[in-house]
A and B are shown apart, each in its own frame.
Chain A
């Protein structure tokens, strides 16, 4: 029990440090928000007529269709480079210095990962507020708003392994950021921009396995329809599978680091 208590204690203090490190560099959150905001503002105007296609059903505003995808995309952006800080600190020797303290090595990883929940949720929240100001609805109100933040945060933590793994395995900033770019197709091939009915068959197949799509559909239901628990649980299950696979690999890669 003492060991578990120590783990939470250490994670808390190390997490405060990583959060500070993140907050004190404005380009961190600017670079997360910029792309989704631009897409929200520009695409909602550029493709506004697309909403007349029958596949969009009863939806009448492309902005309202687009917003959930951009909220999810923000959570994606918030963690796409999550491994970067860890690897820079590994190379600078800072992690060694942390390790010379009487702390559990897993606390160091947890101190990186736990704050990602709050970062992804907060960033997604900003997109959500902007979307609402532009006219998108959140029919489930405050409860739905908070649930969307929680889903976004969880998704962020689950997906973060996709950046931690290349970071820990290559120990190279370049490789880590390049790998993050390779993840972008899961966003563009999701239902962020058009419903799955408008996609070619192969892309529809892929979307059955795309965790991004499940998250977007859950957020979309909360914004447009109401509490659709089947969509929400599908999102939770898909990110659960994603999280277990990626984070087990992350733990393995972190262990391999030999701290």
Chain B
């Protein structure tokens, strides 16, 4: 099994030759579904190079690079990070809608920013270091 780290989650999926995986796993990991037009999410489809699809298998590395996102592998190829494409991050911020997130509180309870809709939020970072 290969570990895939996305900006918001961690998955373990079966892969071969890099990041070739079933279309079902590709959808689970990326949120994009394989269709005849390419990889699709909501109304948007991104055509895939012919070499990046074989039957119901997808080369997620090629797809992610096509999206403009960074793909970084561990030395052993057993862990991969798929980073958010810069354009996607900029577009999300430019609409000025605060990107939503869920993080655990100090006791492990998950908290989601959008639960606070209706209140002003002062979102601040800190660290021990």
Q: Do A and B bind each other?
A: no
